[in-house]
Amino acid sequence: MTPSSAYLTLQGIGKQFGGFTALEDIDLSIQRGEFVCFLGPSGCGKTTLLRIVAGLEPHSRGTLVQDGRDISRLPPAQRDYGIVFQSYALFPNLSVADNVAYGLVNRRQPRERIDARVAELLALVGLPGSGSKYPAQMSGGQQQRVALARALATSPGLLLLDEPLSALDAIVRVRLREELRALQRRLGVTTIMVTHDQEEALSVADRIVVMNQGRIEQVGTPMQIYREPASAFVADFVGKVNRLPAIAEGERWFRSGDFRWQCPPGQGADFRSGASVWLYLRPEDRVLDGLVADHPEACEGRVRQVEFLGGNCLAEVDLPGLPTPLQLQFSLNQMDEYQVREGGTLRFALRS
Ligand code: ATP
Query: 274: phi > 0 → left, psi -120 to 50 → alpha, else beta; which?
Result: left
In whole angstroms, what is the distance from residue 197 CA to residue 234 CA?
13
Q: Which of 26, 46, 163 for a ligand 1 pocket mutation test, highest count of atoms within 8 Å of Cβ?
A: 46
Residue 352 CB contacts under 8 Å (≥ 6 apart), including other chains: 252, 261, 262, 263, 264
Torsion of CA 329, 332, 336, 338, to 10 degrees: -20
Dihedral pair phi/psi, residue 242, rounded to 5°: -90, 130
Cβ of 195 less than 6 Å from ligand 1: no
Residue 219 CB contacts under 8 Å (≥ 6 apart), including other chains: 28, 207, 208, 209, 210
Of 197, 221, 194, 217, the residue nearest 207 (C-alpha):
221
Mean pLDDT, rounded, for 62-87: 93
* DSSP β-ladder status, 312-318 and 299-308: antiparallel
Q: Taking the domain 242-348, which CATH number applies?
A: 2.40.50.100
Cβ of 4 less than 6 Å from ligand 1: no
Q: What is the pLDDT of residue 2?
A: 46
Cβ of 45 less than 6 Å from ligand 1: yes
Domain range summary for the chain, segments of one domain joined by +: 3-237, 242-348
Q: Whose CA is nearest to atom 31 of ligand 1?
A: 17
Mean pLDDT, rounded, for 13-35: 97
Q: Which atom of ligand 1 is nearest to the CA of 17?
A: 29
Cβ of 212 less than 6 Å from ligand 1: no
CA 274-275-278 angle, 5° bins: 125
In whole angstroms, what is the distance from residue 147 CA to residue 169 CA?
17
Of 9, 52, 12, the residue nearest 34 (C-alpha):
9
Cβ of 142 less than 6 Å from ligand 1: no
Residue-wise pLDDT for 304-332, tens only, equals 999 998 889 999 999 888 888 999 998 89
In whole angstroms, what is the distance from residue 157 CA to residue 110 CA?
22
Q: Whose CA is nearest to atom 17 of ligand 1?
A: 43
Cβ of 44 less than 6 Å from ligand 1: yes
Q: Whose CA is nearest to atom 27 of ligand 1?
A: 17
pLDDT band at 167 (very low <50, low <70, confident <90, very high): confident
Q: Which atom of ligand 1 is nearest to the CA of 18?
A: 29
Q: Compute how many other C-beta atoms are within 10 angstroms of the C-beta atom of residue 316.
A: 19
Query: Of all residues in the chain, what percent carry a pLDDT higher than 90?
Result: 63
CA 128-134-137 angle, 5° bins: 90
Mean pLDDT, rounded, for 103-108: 80
Mapped to the 3 state alphabet, what secondary structure does the chain carry?
CCHHHEEEEEEEEEEEECCEEEEEEEEEEEECCCEEEEECCCCCCHHHHHHHHHCCCCCCEEEEEECCEECCCCCHHHCCEEEECCCCCCCCCCCHHHHHHHHHHHCCCCHHHHHHHHHHHHHHCCCCCCCCCCHHHCCHHHHHHHHHHHHHCCCCCEEEEECCCCCCCHHHHHHHHHHHHHHHHHHCCEEEEEECCHHHHHHHCCEEEEEECCEEEEEECHHHHHHCCCCHHHHHHCCCCEEEEEEEEECCEEEECCEEEECCCCCCCCCCCCCEEEEEECCCCCECCCHHHHCCCCEEEEEEEEEECCCEEEEEEECCCCCCCEEEEEEHHHHHHCCCCCCCEEEEECCC
Cβ of 17 less than 6 Å from ligand 1: yes
Mean pLDDT score of the chain: 89
**R_g (Cα) of the chain, nearest Å:** 25
Q: Whose CA is nearest to atom 5 of ligand 1?
A: 43
Amino acid in the structure at residue 218: Q
Cβ of 46 less than 6 Å from ligand 1: yes
16 CA → ligand 1 middle, Å? 11
Amino acid in the structure at residue 187: L
CATH superfamily of 3-237: P-loop containing nucleotide triphosphate hydrolases (3.40.50.300)
Q: Which of 16, 26, 44, 215 for a ligand 1 pocket mutation test, highest count of atoms within 8 Å of Cβ?
A: 44
Residue 290 scores a pLDDT above 70: no
User: Rounded to two decimals, what is the model's pTM?
Assistant: 0.88
47 CA → ligand 1 middle, Å? 7
121 CA → ligand 1 middle, Å? 33
Q: What is the pLDDT of residue 199?
A: 92
42 CA → ligand 1 middle, Å? 8
Residue-wise pLDDT for 172-230, tens only, equals 889 889 999 999 999 999 999 999 999 999 999 999 999 999 999 999 999 999 988 99
